[in-house]
Amino acid sequence: MGERIVITGLGSVSALGVGVEPFRSALLAGTAGIRDLEKIDCSGLRVVIGAQVPHFKAADYLDEALLPYLDRFSQFALIATKEALNDSGLTAGQYENAAAIIGTGCGGKETDEATYSQLYRDGRSRVHPLTIPKGMPSAAASQVSLQMKIKGPVFFVTSACTSSGHAIAQAALMIRHGLVDVAIAGGTDAPFTCGLLKSWDMLRVLSKDTCRPFSKDRSGMVLGEGAGILVLESERHAKARGADIYAELAGFGMSSDAGHITDPSVDGAARTIGLCLQDAQLSPADVQYINAHGTATQANDVTETAAISKIFKENAASLAVSSTKSMHGHALGAAGGLELVATVLSVKEGFIPPTVNFTEAGDGCDLDYVPNEVRFGSIDAALSNSFAFGGLNAVLAVRAFQ
């Protein structure tokens, strides 16, 4: 198995607020960050709600001289990374040979949209000279490297809604095999642009009112934005410096359905859950909680429920399953990072966030979805599921640190 991997720092930007503390408080209270869209031309859009970061001003958190180089998705990544490093007790530049692996589903969409609007709507003949370094999908990872003085392996991962899960698994592999002692990993996305919203609108998977995962009257997903970043370390390294440890990242599973570009597979999701349990050396009876992918689409919720039941069998009835997307929305490439932060807090502090807006269970949704109110109790092990368009799957396992 190689090095045991522990989690020593958390950082979060989401519709529930900037920082882990407002994120944690909202999970405990069952507070949703879904509201009418702001600062976006919604004319012609069927769906005008989303989970945007409230009252966000980048200059409140970042040096104004840096802002011309930063698309919104990079801003989120930097803010969450700074928080995670501070939380871990590490400082920028303290470990040059750390890794930074950041996932994104969309990249710099605000930069892209501004550029194309200037060219094709406003008739300009030139664009800003920083357009490429600001908008390229790897910009967030590069900026984390630049600002935090990380000189080890740095790259971005893009696999739609599984981007964070894949990034975290890659970081864990590097630590497990001794390539680095410290890794910053997670995901970031900022999808609220007119062009992207219109594109999602045409898929007919967005809800017009709110996000109700696993409910009979669910009407689709709600887009979100933000970043979820974690500091991973080898247990040896963390103990040597006296770090406070949240939990162990016990294992992971990754697979592809190799089936349909948008229709999820029970077998693919189940296989990934099984691979994760195997890698973490956990049995189904060892797991008390799953932070579900839980998008509130008709296809996902039934498929995910069936996949969980297929692996957990008789243990599925006693398993708590919830979707925090009901609160922070579906933040695409950032979703897995935010949800792993939620899962780590659950294991560390002994609470299970609710699935808010839950009404009654939908057909094919027959598990315990922790409806509407937080639940307290000891959690020894938990999973965090990510299943993406393209049939790309990742599941992460978190275990209480002993």
Distance (Å, rounded) from C-alpha 84 to C-alpha 346?
A: 17
Query: Contact 109/73 with Cβ under 8 angstroms?
Result: yes
Number of helices followed by number of strands (H, E) in the chain: 12, 15
Catalytic residue among 106, 166, 293, 328: 293
Q: Is the dihedral of CA 362, 364, 366, 370 positive or negative?
A: negative
Catalytic residue among 161, 211, 276, 365: 161
Distance (Å, rounded) from C-alpha 244 to C-alpha 233?
A: 11
Give the H or E element holding residue 231: strand 226-234
Give the H or E element holding residue 142: helix 139-148
Catalytic residue among 106, 166, 328, 330: 330
Distance (Å, rounded) from C-alpha 207 to C-alpha 297?
A: 9
Which phi and psi angles does 261 have, rounded to 5°?
-70, -30
Query: Contact 92/85 with Cβ under 8 angstroms?
Result: yes
HEC letters along 80-125: HHHHHHHHHCCCCCCCCCCEEEEECCCCCHHHHHHHHHHHHHCCCC
For residue 361, the 8-state DSSP code is B
166 included as an active-site residue: no
Distance (Å, rounded) from C-alpha 192 to C-alpha 356?
A: 23
| In the block, residue with structure tokens 């993406």 | 388
Active-site residue set: 161, 293, 330
